[in-house]
Amino acid sequence: MSENMDDKLRDLLCDQAVFGLTNEEARQLKELSDGAEMDAQSYELAAAAIALAETKIEPMPAGLEAKLLRAAEEHFGASKEEIHESIHDQPTQTFQWKEPKPSRSFFDWFGWAAAAVASIVLMVTFFYYQDRLSKLEDRLAKATATPTPAPSLAEQRDRLMAEATDLTRAEWAGGPYEPTKGVTGEVVWSDAKQQGYMTFRGLPVNDANLEAYQLWIFEEPQLEALPKDGGVFNVTAKGEVIIPIDAKLRTISPKAFAITIEKPGGVMQSKRERLAALAPVKPSET
Amino acid sequence: MSSLATGVSVAFAVSVAGWKSESNSGSVLRTRRHDAFVTQSVLQRIADGDQSAVQDCLKSYGGLVWSLARRMLRNQDDAEDAVQEIFLDVWKNASRFDPAQASETTFVAMIARRRLIDKIRHTQRRISADSIEDVLAEPSTRDDKVMQTNVEAREAAKAMDQLRPEQRQVLQLSIVHGLSHQEIADSTGMPLGTVKTHARRGIIQVRELLGLGEITGVKEVSV
C-alpha cells in the first residue's frame, strides 16, 4: 500500500473513532482496509478510554433497569431456545440397560448413610450459626455507628489546600464593573484532583431571577478567546462566600480566572460586558 | 517565524511523547492483563449464556452506558432507547471481548460509542445554538471511581494532559459531547480542516501513549 493510501486509511480510522463515518467514507475504509495490516479497533478503544476518563458517571434511572431486565429475558430466552433446539438436533445415542449387581450388604450402606446424614447436620448447624453471628455483628456495627456530618465548604477547601501538592493560587481583584470594584478574595485549584474553590469578600448578592455569576478559566494565553466555563453560581449572602469550581472540561495549569455577570444559567460565550472580578495566576503560583 | 517555532515545539512534544509511550505501553499492558483477569467474568458468563450475569452487567456498566448516552445524545428519551440497544449489542458481542486487548469497561464503552455515533449520524442531528450553550453547562469532569478502577481511563487522562490544548478541546467536544466536526468548527471558530487535524493528531497520540498502536514517526502537519 502506498504512503498516501496509508495516510488516508489512518485518517479514516481516526475519523471513525472520533466522529463516525459517512456511507461513502465507510465504503472507502472497507476498500482501503482490505488486506491492510492496521489494528482498526485500537483507535476506537483509544476514543473509548478518553470517554471513560472524561465522563462523570451518573446512576441509570431505575425504570430503565427494569426495561433492560425484560429485554434480557427476551434476548436470552430466544438464545436458550436456539441452544435447546441445537442440542435436540444432535443424533441421540442409545444405551443398553444392564441390571445393577448388588455389591454391598445392607449394613455397609446403612453405615455410610448415617455418616453422610451426620455430616450434613453438622454443616447446616455451622452455617446457620455463622450467618446469625454475622447478622448480629452487622446490627451491632450499625447501632454503634455515629453519622458523620458532611464537611462544610470551608473544610473542603482547607482539606484541598492541605492535601494538594500541585495547588494553583490566585487573588481576586474587582473588575471594571462598578458594583464589584471592591471585591477581594482568593481562588485555589488542583489539576490532579480537578477541584477548586473560590473565596470572595464583597461580591454583591445577585437576583437569581435576573442574572448569575459565571466563572471562566483561561488555560493558555493563546486561548484567551476560548476560556473554559467554570460554572454558574449565585451569591445569596453578604460577607465571605466560598464557591466550589464546577469546571465543565478537564482543566490543566490555569493561567487566569475571571467572573462575569450573565443571564441565569450562564452563557457559552461571554460578551464580557460586566466583568466582576479577575484573578491572574502569577508564574510562581502555578 | 512563530509558526516555525510552533512547529518545532509540536515536533518536540510528539517525539517526547513517543519516547514516553514506549515505557508507558509496557505498564499499561501489564496492568490491563491484571484488570482483565479481575473483571472479565461478567462478559464471559454472558457469552456462556448465563442469564444471572445480566444483572451484574447492568450493575457494573449501567451507569457508564447511561452517562455516555445522556451526554452524547442530550435527550432523555433518545438516551433510554440507545441504552437498550447498546446492552443488546454488548450481550451479542460478549464473546468477542479479548482481555489481552483492553479491559472489559473499555470494551463496553467502545460498543456503546459505536451505537451512539451511529444514532447521531442516522438522525442527522443538528444542534441548535441553544443546545451548544447547554453542551458546556453540564458537569463532565472525570469520575474518581472510574479513574481508580480503570487503568485505561487513568492512562487516557494522563495522555490527554500531554496533548496541545486545542487537540484536547476538540477531542473533549467530539468524544464526550458528541459534537460533529462542523459543530465544533461553528462553536469554536476554528476552520473545519483544523478541527479534523486536531482530532486525528490527538487520537493518534492517545492511542500510542496507551500502548494500543505502533509508534509512528514525527510528521508535522500545519494547522
**pLDDT confidence of A80, banded at 50, 70, 90?**
low
Which residue ranges make up each domain of chain B?
Answer: 8-209
Q: What number is the average pLDDT over the span B49-74?
A: 88
Point out the residue among B70, B181, B210 whose CB comes nearest to the CB of A49.
B210
Q: How many CA atoms lie less than 13 Å away from A191 in the CB half-sphere? A: 15
Point out the residue among A20, A65, A79 whose CB comes nearest to the CB of B118.
A20
User: Between A6 and B156, whose confidence is greater?
Assistant: B156
According to the model, what pLDDT value does residue B77 have?
87
Point out the residue among A67, A249, A265 whose CB comes nearest to the CB of B84.
A67
According to the model, what pLDDT value does residue A276 have?
92
pLDDT beyond 60 at B175: yes
Asked if the Cβ–Cβ distance from B68 to A51 is below 8 Å, we say: yes
- Total structural domains within chain A: 2
CA R_g for chain A: 33
Closest chain B CA to residue A220: B165
- Residue A120, exposed/middle/buried by CB under 10 A (0-12, 13-18, 19+)? exposed
pLDDT beyond 80 at B66: yes
User: Between B3 and A278, whose confidence is greater?
Assistant: A278
**pLDDT confidence of B139, banded at 50, 70, 90?**
very low
Interface size, chain A vs chain B, as Cβ–Cβ contacts under 8 Å: 233
Is the four-CA dihedral A272, B180, B119, B144 of positive or negative sign?
Answer: negative
Q: What number is the average pLDDT over the span A218-237?
A: 77
Which stretch of DSSP H or E encloses residue B4? helix B2-39
Asked if the Cβ–Cβ distance from A250 to B213 is below 8 Å, we say: no
Assess: ipTM above 0.85. no
pLDDT beyond 60 at A143: no
Kindly state whether residue A31 falls inside one of the protein's structural domains. Answer: yes
Mean pLDDT for chain B? 73
Q: What number is the average pLDDT over the span A111-118?
A: 68
According to the model, what pLDDT value does residue B200 have?
96
Kindly state whether residue A25 falls inside one of the protein's structural domains. Answer: yes
Q: What pLDDT, in 10s, does the model give residues B11-60?
A: 223 222 222 222 333 334 333 433 433 444 689 888 888 878 888 899 98
Q: Which residues contact A262 (CB under 8 A, 6 or more apart)?
A: A211, A212, A213, A214, A232, A270, A274
pLDDT beyond 80 at A158: yes
According to the model, what pLDDT value does residue B145 have?
59
Mutation target among A4, A19, A228, A232 for the B interface, most CBs of B within 10 A: A19
Q: What pLDDT, in 10s, does the model give residues A35-50?
A: 666 678 899 999 999 9
Is the four-CA dihedral A276, A282, A285, B2 of positive or negative sign?
Answer: positive
Chain A residues with CB-CB distance to B161 below 8 A: 191, 252
Around Cβ A134, how many Cβ atoms within 10 Å?
10
A173: which strand partners? A184, A278
Asked if the Cβ–Cβ distance from A51 to B135 is below 8 Å, we say: no
Kindly state whether residue A134 falls inside one of the protein's structural domains. Answer: no
Asked if the Cβ–Cβ distance from A57 to B91 is below 8 Å, we say: no
Q: What number is the average pLDDT over the span A67-87?
A: 66
**Which of A30, A54, A78 is the last residue in one of the domains?**
A54
Q: Comparing A1-5, A236-240, B63-67, B188-192, which segment has the lowest mean pLDDT?
A: A1-5
Q: What is the CATH number of domain B8-209?
A: 1.10.1740.10
Q: Which of A232, A227, A286 is nearest to A257 (CA)?
A: A227
According to the model, what pLDDT value does residue A206 have?
92
**pLDDT confidence of B73, banded at 50, 70, 90?**
confident
Task: Name the packing angle between helices B76-92 and B53-73 (round to 10°).
Answer: 140
For A16, the domain range is: 3-54
B102 touches chain A (CB under 8 A): yes
Q: Comparing A85-99, A222-236, B63-77, which segment has the lowest mean pLDDT?
A: A85-99
Instruction: Measure B79 CA to nearest chain A CA, in Å.
Output: 10
Q: What pLDDT, in 10s, does the model give residues B95-123?
A: 998 888 888 999 999 999 999 999 888 77
Kindly state whether residue A178 falls inside one of the protein's structural domains. Answer: yes
DSSP one-letter string for chain A: --HHHHHHHHHHHHHHHHT---HHHHHHHHHHHTT----HHHHHHHHHHHHHHH----PPPHHHHHHHHHHHHHHHHHHHHHHHHHHHHSPPP-----PPPP-S-HHHHHHHHHHHHHHHHHHHHHHHHHHHHHHHHHHHHHHH--PPPPPPHHHHHHHHHHH-SSEEEEEEEE-SSGGGTT-EEEEEEETTTTEEEEEEESPPP--TTT-EEEEEEE-SGGGTTSPEEEEEE---SSSEEEEE---SS---S--EEEEEEESTT--SS---SSEEEEEEPPGGG-
Please tell me the distance from the alpha carbon of residue A42 to that of residue B21, in angstroms, as a whole number.
15
pLDDT beyond 80 at A114: no
**DSSP label of B94:** G
**pLDDT confidence of B212, banded at 50, 70, 90?**
confident
Kindly state whether residue A186 falls inside one of the protein's structural domains. Answer: yes
Q: What number is the average pLDDT over the span B80-93?
A: 93
pLDDT beyond 50 at A33: yes
How do beta strands A256-262 and A275-280 pair?
A: antiparallel
According to the model, what pLDDT value does residue A247 have?
80
User: Between A249 and A85, whose confidence is greater?
Assistant: A249
Q: Which of B57, B153, B44 is nearest to B98 (CA)?
A: B44
B88 touches chain A (CB under 8 A): yes
pLDDT beyond 50 at A263: yes
Please tell me the distance from the alpha carbon of residue B171 to that of residue A219, in angstroms, as a whole number.
16
- Residue B105, exposed/middle/buried by CB under 10 A (0-12, 13-18, 19+)? buried
pLDDT beyond 70 at B10: no
Instruction: Measure B159 CA to nearest chain A CA, in Å.
Output: 9
**Which of A54, A75, A90 is the last residue in one of the domains?**
A54
Q: Comparing A4-13, B2-11, B89-98, which segment has the lowest mean pLDDT?
A: B2-11
